[in-house]
Amino acid sequence: MKNITRLISLAAVALTALVSVPLTADDYPSVSDLRTALDSGQKTSAQLVREYRQRIDTFNERLNAITRLNNEALQEAERLDRLRAAGTILGPLHGIPVLLKDNIDTGDGMPNTAGSWLLRENIPADDAFLVKSLREQGAIILGKANLSEWANFRSTRSSSGWSAIGGQTRNPYDLSRSPCGSSSGSAVAVAAGLAPLAVGTETDGSVTCPAAINGVVGIKPTLGLVSRDGIIPISAHQDTAGPMATTVSGAVMLLDAMVGEDPADPDSIPARGPYRRHLQPDGLKGLRIGIVRNLTGYSPKTDAVFAQALEVLRAQGATLVDNANIDTLDEIHALEFDLLAWEFKDAVAEYLATAPVKAKTLQALVAANERAQGRELQHFGQEIFIMAQESRGRQEAGFTEEVARLKSLAGKQGIDAVLREHDLDLLVAPTTSPAWKIDQINGDHYLGSASTPAAVAGYPHITVPMGFVRHLPVGLSFFSGANREDILIAAAYNYERASMARRAPVIPAAPGRDEQP
């Protein structure tokens, strides 16, 4: 693991080589717990930064969740402590550490790499819009989280959570299993208590899948609610950043600190927050919820856990409507990939044009990967890069019209049509299967998920821990129409409190027999 920030002592190494480390509730404080400790004076922000760094030093070598720590984090924590002592609180996240996925710009000297060795010297001039918002709200940028390289958009045979910069991120519930991706490190770090909050990004499933597989909460907001400024792109018509936390309330507080209208993002929309006002313990009461059966069936053991979750929804006062299926799914899947690849060719060039890197086009990246193939192509290739490069990008015939058709299939003719036909408030489905074994020879063994309709439509989607298949967590997805974060937050919060389904991992500190991918 090429972790520049690792400062583990020889004593700590000797200890962790011998035993699995059982963690207590104190190792997984919620954001609400941290706020209480800070407000009461029980903790300072500087103490929190030191404590999280210590946990990172102890566990990150096994998990590969974090690629870099922010050298300015402790100094910023001390500044925020002085403000607190003087009676100034910048926001609900004042003095609380947050990790960023390593495809988000910061202006503090940390490179923004997308996990690629080719971008190791990409040190942005300033913060992404969402990072500026976080800092203005008093959040501390703790560091960068590993990811599936290029947000899992380089190879059809990729291993989720692997990058040339960070190596293979591992699932804290079973180190031999995948963390999903592409926001792998963000989800793993939160699940393992290496940070209380993390930001991921999603084009299709890259927040919700790793959140579910690692037993945390993930929110993919309505497209435009969080600015895309300063984020290495795939597609302007699907990309968004989203928050991750161990609780719905934590994720919502992070969402509140990320949103804001940005003139630099043409799709930016005003927030309807603060979203934390929708954290209602009876948020399921009276709702009509559709069960999307054609987003099930790929994992029978997950479906059995889903059946139990449905009983919780019903017991909390929701009316369930079965077979509220999205009939346009096949058409969506047939169109989505080509359009993403075409747009990626131009979108990545637009980002690289102003970045301090040598490669300025996708063609240049393809060639540079070939030159660095011992480092970059050691496990899988770059078929998606090559396919995208061979296209005409956004100049492909009918690109604009096909994007509009795709979004209609997922939105107006998909989610919206089902909600209207059955008079529903929202839809539910299992988020994805349990984690599969890491396989750097054949690639991911991905079975299915609920992410695509909301991702393509640009609609909100929240995943909440639903339970376990043996020792592996699975998630419950809530999704609805555009700008319905309010109803999703209320439902997810009520479900979380009623189900109490999350159970923290016990992270083995010594290598397991099956750990080598």
> Which sequence positions are flagged as catalytic?
101, 182, 206
Longest Cα–Cα distance of the chain, Å, equals 63
Helix (H) or strand (E) holding 12: helix 10-16
- Neighbouring residues of 58: CB distance < 8 A, sequence distance ≥ 6: 8, 12, 16, 21
Q: Give me the DSSP letters along 187-231.
A: HHHHHTTS-SEEEEEESSSTTHHHHHHTT-EEEEPPTTSS--TTB
* Angle in degrees, CA 338, 343, 344, rounded to 5: 95
Distance CA 46, CA 137 (A): 17
Distance CA 456, CA 187 (A): 22
Helices (H), 72-173: 73-85, 129-136, 149-152
- CB burial class (10 A; 0-12, 13-18, 19+) of residue 319? middle
* Angle in degrees, CA 187, 39, 107, rounded to 5: 50
From its phi and psi, is residue 64 left (phi > 0), alpha (psi between -120 and 50) or beta? left
Q: Percent helix, strand, coil in the chain (nearest 5)?
A: 40, 15, 45
